Structure 1
Amino acid sequence: MDTITTLIERNDDFVENRFPSGLKLVPTLKTLIIGCVDPRVDAAHILGVQLGDAAIIRNVGGRVTPAAIEELVMLRKVTQAGGGDMGAGWDLIVLHHTQCGITRLGAEPALLATYFGVDQQELAGKAINDPHEAVTVDVAALKASSSLAGGFLVSGMVYDVETGRTEVVVAPSLLREETTVG
C-alpha cells in the first residue's frame, strides 16, 4: 500500500470516529506553541493538545526566528478577523527537545545565519547545541520583539526524546504589558 492510500484510509477513520465538528478559529486554551518539525516531537501528542486547543508553529529546531515572529504577527491578525485577539490571557510556549537535528548543522554556518537572520559571528549566541540554553535564548528573543502584542505569558520547555518527559526551563512570565501593536 502506498503512503497516500494509507493516509486517506486514516483520514476516513478520523472522519468516521474522531472528527470534532464546530471547532472555532480561536484556540480554546488560548495557547500558541512554537515547536520543532522533528516527527518524534509533536506538541499535540506529547502535551495532550486536542484539535482546537492550541495553534502550533513548527520549524527546524522549534526556534524563534524572524519568520516565526512574522507568523505570530499574522496569527494575531487571523484571530482578530475571527473575532478574538491574541495577547492578554494567552500562553506562548517555546518547546525545544533533546537530540535535535539542528545540532547537526554546525558545519553549515551560512545556512544557520540566514535561518536566524544574523551574521555568522552571532551564531554562538543562538545556543544551537544546547536545548536548555536555546529555549532561554528564544524566550528572550520573543520578549525583545516589539512586533508582538504584550500580555502573553511566555514560557520555555524542553522535551526529552528518550524519557518522554517535558521540563519547564523558563517559567511563565509576562512578555510585557499589553500594548496596541498592529
Structure 2
Amino acid sequence: MTTFDALIERNQDFASHRFLKDLPLMPTLRAMIIGCVDPRVDPALLLGLGLGEAVVIRNVGGRITPATLQTMGMLGRVAQSEKGNPAGEFHLIVLQHTQCGIARLEGDPDMLASYFGIGKEGVTAKAITDPHAAVAVDVAALKANPALPGTWLVSGLVYDVTTGLVEVVVPPAPLASPESNE
C-alpha cells in the first residue's frame, strides 16, 4: 500500500467514526495556536485539541513572520464576514519547541532575513537557536501589533521534544495593557 492509499484509507475511517458534522467556523476554545511544521510537534496532539477547538497556524519554527501576520489578518476578515469576529477573550498561543530545525539555518542569514522580512543585521535579535528567547521575541511582536485587539490574551509555550511536556515561558496576558485603553 502506498502512503497516498494509506492516507485515503485513514480518511475513510475518520469520516466513518470521528467526523463531527456542522462544526462552527469559530474555534470553540477561542484560541489560535502558532506552531512549527515539525512533524514531532503537532499542536492538536500535544495539547489534546479536538476538531473545531482552535485555529492552528504552522510554519518553520512556529515564528511570527509577515506571512503569519497576513494569515491572521485574513482569518480575521473571514471571521468578520461570518459575524463571528472574536471580541472579548480570545487566546493567541505561540508554541515553539526544543531541537527545532530552524536553528540549523543560523548560518544562512540571507534566508532568515527574507523569512522574517528584516535586514540581515536583525536576524540575531530573532533568537533562532534559543526557543525560550524566541517565544518571548514573538510574543512581544504580537503585543506590538496595533491591528490585534488589545483585549486578546497572548502566551508563549516551549514544547520539549524529549519529554513531551510544554513549559509556560510567557504566561497569558492581554495583548495591550489596560491603561492603553485598547
C-alpha distance in structure 2 between counterparts of 1:8 and 1:83, whole Å: 34
Query: 2:52 matched to which residue of 1?
Result: 52
Match of 2:90 in 1: 90
Measure, in 1, the Cα distance between the counterparts of 2:146 and 2:80.
Answer: 19
- Deviation at 1:174? 0.4
* Counterpart position of 2:34: 34
The one-letter amino acid paired with 1:114 is S
Alignment gaps of 5+ in structure 1: none
In structure 1, what residue type is equivalent to 2:167? Answer: E
8 Å contact kept, 1:72–1:148:
no
Q: 2:146 maps to what in 1?
A: 146
* SS of residue paired to 2:85: coil
The answer (yes or no) to whether the contact 1:88–1:152 under 8 Å persists in 2 is yes
The CA RMSD over aligned residues, in Å, is 1.1
Q: Which residue is 1:130 aligned to?
A: 130
Task: Please say if 1:17 is aligned against 2:17.
Answer: yes
Q: Structure 2: which amino acid aligns with 1:57?
A: I
Residue by residue over 1:5-44, the C-alpha shift from the partner in whole angstroms, topping out at 9 and shown as x without a partner, is: 0100000000011001110100000100000000000000
Runs of at least 5 residues in structure 2 that lack an aligned partner in the other structure: none
Tell me, in whole angstroms, the C-alpha distance in 2 between the residues paired with 1:150 and 1:87: 10
Farther off after superposition, 105-114 or 80-89: 80-89
TM normalised by structure 1 equals 0.95
| Overall identity of the aligned pairs, in % | 55
The match for 2:111 is 111
The answer as to whether partners of 1:86 and 1:149 remain within 8 angstroms in 2 is: no
The whole-number CA distance in structure 2 between the counterparts of 1:88 and 1:151 is 6
Q: 8 Å contact 1:62–1:96 — kept in the other structure?
A: yes
Aligned positions, number: 179
Normalising by the residue count of structure 2, what TM-score does the alignment of the two structures yield?
0.95
- For 1:162, the equivalent position in structure 2 comes to 162
